[in-house]
Amino acid sequence: MREKSLHDVRQELLALPGIGAETADAILTYAFRMPSFVLDAYTRRFLERLWGAMVDYVTVGVDKRLTFVFRDGTEVEHKETVSLTY
């Protein structure tokens, strides 16, 4: 799965029975160590109210900057870095 893009692997996980967005993001982050960020329902709702758009998922760059990917394909990079621990 490492050869595939984060988006493709995420779509494959979402196609499995019983796997939702939060679980798929957790699997990407913790099992595959892919640059994903787990969005729970409350965080997703907050971001949607903040930007007025549906956030699909969040990626984490090598520079530790978050990129928010919206359902329409638009991407917004957060200007601050985040501290992540596994």
For the segment 3-42, what is each residue's pLDDT rounded down to a tens digit? 788 888 888 999 999 998 889 888 988 888 887 778 777 8
Residues of the domain holding 30: 6-81
Q: Is residue 1 part of a domain?
A: no
Q: Which value, in Å, is the radius of gyration of the alpha carbons in the chain?
A: 13
Give pLDDT, residue 81: 52
Q: How many CB atoms within 10 Å of residue 74? A: 11
Q: Is residue 74 part of a domain?
A: yes
Q: Is residue 68 part of a domain?
A: yes
Question: What digits encode the pLDDT tens for the residues 39-81?
Answer: 777 877 887 787 777 777 777 766 667 777 777 777 777 765 5
Number of structural domains (the chain) is: 1
Give pLDDT, residue 2: 60
Q: Is residue 72 part of a domain?
A: yes
CB–CB of 66/77 below 8 Å? yes
pTM for the model stands at 0.63
Q: Is residue 49 part of a domain?
A: yes
